[in-house]
Amino acid sequence: MNARMADLKRCFEAAGFSDVKTILSSGNVAFEARAGSEAALVRSIEAAMAQHLGRTFQTTVRRTDALRKLVETDPYAGFDVPANAKRVVTFLREPLRKKPALPIATDGVLILATDGREVFTAYVAHPKGPVFMTLIEKTFGVDLTTRTWDTVKKCASA
d(CA 9, CA 45): 11
d(CA 97, CA 38): 19
Average pLDDT over residues 73-92: 94
d(CA 43, CA 1): 21
pTM: 0.91
Helix, strand, coil percentages for the chain (3-state, nearest 5) = 35, 25, 40
pLDDT digits (tens, 9 = 90+) for 105-134: 999 999 999 999 999 999 998 888 889 999
Contact at 8 Å (CB) between 13 and 138? Answer: no
d(CA 52, CA 103): 42
Q: Where in the chain is the domain with CATH 3.30.70?
A: 65-156
Position with higher pLDDT, 119 vs 37: 119
CA 37 to chain centre: 18
Overall fold of domain 65-156: Alpha-Beta Plaits (3.30.70)
The answer, yes or no, to whether residue 71 has pLDDT greater than 90, is yes
d(CA 137, CA 143): 8
d(CA 158, CA 152): 10
Is 147 exposed, middle or buried, given 0-12, 13-18 or 19+ CB atoms closer than 10 A? buried
Q: How many C-alpha atoms does 102 have within 13 Å on its Cβ side? A: 19
d(CA 106, CA 29): 33
d(CA 73, CA 137): 25
The answer, yes or no, to whether residue 3 has pLDDT greater than 90, is no
The answer, yes or no, to whether residue 35 has pLDDT greater than 80, is no
Average pLDDT over residues 136-146: 94
